[in-house]
A = this chain, B = another copy of it.
């Protein structure tokens, strides 16, 4: 099963008055994880959208284990946990790079839709991306 590995550095803007990163920002980091995942597959998400496929989020979840802090280097490990005809599930693990400490785990479920918001069957609409995602997810059987 393919892993996408990205890295971000915590911005001052992302902290709050508790002195740690505000919880909603982890979902933005998940997005950077997805972005790097698609790039690694050979089809950047900007290309996916140009092919008239959007991946709006259906569900999002995060469990917070330890606080990220300003200027921390965060490693984002992204995997495809499930791939179906009209939807898919990403999983994320966030680590503090310097210590290896697990900061959070999360999931986002996405639909495949076109610009009009109608569901598209990815396998028909973009066989290349479908195959790459299948390989990445380690699910070779159709």
Known: A46-B71, A70-B17. A60 touches B61 (CB 8 A): yes
Complex contact A62–B59 (CB within 8 A): yes
Q: Which of A43-58 contact B (CB under 8 A)?
A: 44-46, 54, 56-58
Q: State the CA gap A46–B63 with chains docked (Å).
A: 24
Q: Which of A23-31, A81-89, A92-100, A131-139 contacts B (4 or more CB under 8 A)?
A: A23-31
Chain A residues packing against B (C-beta within 8 Å): 9, 11-13, 15-20, 22-25, 27-28, 31-32, 35, 44-46, 54, 56-64, 67, 70-71, 108
Leading 9 A-B pairs by shortest Cβ distance: A24-B27, A15-B17, A23-B57, A13-B28, A46-B71, A17-B19, A61-B61, A24-B24, A59-B63
